[in-house]
Structure 1
Amino acid sequence: MKILNLIMCIVLLGITSCSNESINEPIRNPAPEEANLVIKFKFDPNQIRLNNLGQPATIPNGNAAQSPNFARMSSNYIELAPTANTLLGEGAIVYDGPSTNLGGEKAIDFSQAKFAGSNETFVTIPLSEIAAGSYSWVRVSLAYQEGAINFLAADGNEYSGTLASFVGYNTYIPDLTFNGVTFPVNANKLQGFWAFEALGFTSQGQAPPGATTVPNPLFDSSPIPQGSCVVTGKFENGLNITGNETEDVVVTLSFSVNNSFEWTEITADGKYEPEAGEQLVDMGVRGLIPMID
């Protein structure tokens, strides 16, 4: 009996000791989650259609156009600019995608590209990595677009096909695969390279240099290099980053795809007829409006 009582005393002493340790242990609050800059994409066929100077643009005589139904896009560079006089590269660079020399000259590495569909998040950046300040403009270098376009076939029927277009300054493409079809490229391709698939039919080509529209309202004060696709847009009330944010800042980059797929007409019917020899001449987006959600 004495042994049993001794054992119970030891157990009770251990419980009391653990309980006291728990009571005396300081309460540790979980570390606060870091606030981020969340960048989303949006593709808007009703947004104003602009030219290279950021001015409203109509479709030239002899051409026709349509608004593609884009499934996804990719960017290789995003920069916040404080003023209209901030030169390209002198703002806050919040995203700079991977590049490679596998194809010879420096190029966007398509094998490591990020993609986003409309109303989807493209990239998330900790706000602690962005310099505090007030930013009036955003510059976005688009690299790739993929979506559906309509065309008129030789049989007189309209069909839908998928167009993949590269609008970055230079892109190294190992293989391009969409709709279950693979286009072996394994080379650098300059702005304007495209591939098309519909009903098992495939084609690819290269738009003329300088044919891709890249709206830049800061053309006079902050030009961009020829052959790049650095689209520029203005925040309505600016983007202010204090460095003390406790919640995410969400910015939606709304791209105008209003009649952004443009071709030369052979038959003046407003329908894209590749089998009749109608050629793609422009695949650039038609404007950018950054919005703070």
Structure 2
Amino acid sequence: MKMRSFLLALMCCSLFWSCKDDDAQPVNEPQLIIKFKFDPTQERLGNLGTPVGIPEGNAAQSPNFNVMSAHYIELAPTATTALGDGQIIYKGLETTAGGANAVDFQQAKIVTENETFLSIPLNSVQAGTYEWARISLTYQNYNIGFLFNGTDYTGTLASFVGFNNYITNYDVDTQNVIVNDNKLQGYWAFETLGNVSEGQAPDGATTVPNPIANTSPVPPGSCVVTGEFENGFTITGEETQNVVITMSLSTNNSFEWTEVTADGKFEPSIGEQVVDMGFRGLKPIVE
């Protein structure tokens, strides 16, 4: 009899805890998900967000992207919303380990195309309509073609386009580069055939398209690319499903250099210099 009472009590206890666990399951909140796309067919824009060609004496190519990273994402209600006054949905870590304040590259999230970069609860974003998206881009890694002694090769380029970047070390392709210092916007390293060379694009040479520069400028060197939602982006606060925004970035002839031989091929061995590595436009697309 005592055994039956004990077993009955044990079963009731198990049922109680089972029910309690089920009741405690978290409700899946709808998320705002941010992904990136690299589009070599998207319009090639200049700093003011208008279509531009390649300057005389230069040449360019559309890189084959591997990965990228961003440091800051903001949704802006209007074209007059000042940088920082919109809804900031992401900001990466910074550090003064290299002296001046800089992006902490070792803590940066690096993603491939269509990989989720950010996922936050939709209810953490203020309800309203947003016309513009801003992204501070910091790191790009891609493959480019180049010419050496009359033969075409492919190499991998890692470029840092953030306002300032504290880097301990990083992989270009198969080779690791040790820095342990700050590097300003435009620092790059190029790997091919097991060898790595490093360089620095001229100050202010990196293109940062901003179609609303006249009403909402961004600081020089910030690499805050701005793009317009085609029909605006509205959050009601009553969403029940995930919302995905794909940040489509123009890679249309985004790698640019000065030509020594006017053949449209990058030939660093004869002194052709990298002058621009910035994305050439942003289109935020609500899926």
Matched, 1:149 2:144: yes
SS at match of 1:111: helix
Which residue matches 2:115?
A: 120
Q: What's the CA shift for 1:244? A: 2.1
Specify whether residues 30 and 196 from structure 1 end up closer, same or farther in structure 2 by C-alpha distance, changes over 3 A only.
Answer: same
Which residue matches 1:111?
A: 106
User: 2: CA distance between counterparts of 1:251 and 1:265?
Assistant: 38
SS at match of 1:217: coil
- Tell me the percent identity: 57
Query: Does the 8 Å contact 1:50/1:286 carry over to 2?
Result: yes
Aligned residues: 284
Q: What's the CA shift for 1:32? A: 2.1
Residue type at the aligned position of 2:282: L
Specify whether residues 15 and 157 from structure 1 end up closer, same or farther in structure 2 by C-alpha distance, changes over 3 A only.
Answer: same
Specify whether residues 207 and 10 from structure 1 end up closer, same or farther in structure 2 by C-alpha distance, changes over 3 A only.
Answer: closer
Specify whether residues 248 and 196 from structure 1 end up closer, same or farther in structure 2 by C-alpha distance, changes over 3 A only.
Answer: same
Which residue matches 2:219?
A: 225
Which residue matches 2:48?
A: 53
TM-score, normalised to structure 2's length?
Answer: 0.93
SS at match of 1:122: strand
SS at match of 1:11: helix
Residue type at the aligned position of 1:88: L
1:263 alignment partner, one of 257, 265, 268: 257
Query: Does the 8 Å contact 1:263/1:272 carry over to 2?
Result: yes
Which residue matches 2:167?
A: 173
SS at match of 1:142: strand
Residue type at the aligned position of 2:162: G
1:83 alignment partner, one of 57, 61, 78: 78
Matched, 1:205 2:163: no
Specify whether residues 280 and 15 from structure 1 end up closer, same or farther in structure 2 by C-alpha distance, changes over 3 A only.
Answer: same
Query: Does the 8 Å contact 2:172/2:189 carry over to 1?
Result: no
RMSD: 2.1
Q: What's the CA shift for 1:228? A: 1.1
Residue type at the aligned position of 2:133: V
Residue type at the aligned position of 1:35: P
Which residue matches 1:92?
A: 87
Which residue matches 2:231?
A: 237
Specify whether residues 131 and 273 from structure 1 end up closer, same or farther in structure 2 by C-alpha distance, changes over 3 A only.
Answer: same
Which residue matches 1:249?
A: 243
Larger radius of gyration: 1
- Deviation string 1:25-66 (CA, Å, 9 cap, x unpaired) is 899485421111100000001111100000011011110000
SS at match of 2:106: helix
Matched, 1:11 2:4: yes
User: 2: CA distance between counterparts of 1:276 and 1:101?
Assistant: 38
TM-score, normalised to structure 1's length?
Answer: 0.91
2:135 alignment partner, one of 134, 140, 148: 140
Query: Does the 8 Å contact 1:74/1:116 carry over to 2?
Result: yes
SS at match of 2:158: strand
Query: Does the 8 Å contact 2:245/2:284 carry over to 1?
Result: yes
Query: Does the 8 Å contact 1:162/1:198 carry over to 2?
Result: yes
SS at match of 2:4: helix
Q: What's the CA shift for 1:178? A: 2.7
Q: What's the CA shift for 1:239? A: 1.1
User: 2: CA distance between counterparts of 1:74 and 1:29?
Assistant: 36
Specify whether residues 13 and 259 from structure 1 end up closer, same or farther in structure 2 by C-alpha distance, changes over 3 A only.
Answer: closer
Name stretches of at least 5 consecutive residues in structure 2 with no aligned partner.
Answer: none
Which residue matches 2:209?
A: 215
Q: What's the CA shift for 1:283? A: 0.4
User: 1: CA distance between counterparts of 2:192 and 2:236?
Assistant: 49
Specify whether residues 94 and 17 from structure 1 end up closer, same or farther in structure 2 by C-alpha distance, changes over 3 A only.
Answer: closer
Matched, 1:66 2:61: yes
User: 2: CA distance between counterparts of 1:126 and 1:113?
Assistant: 21
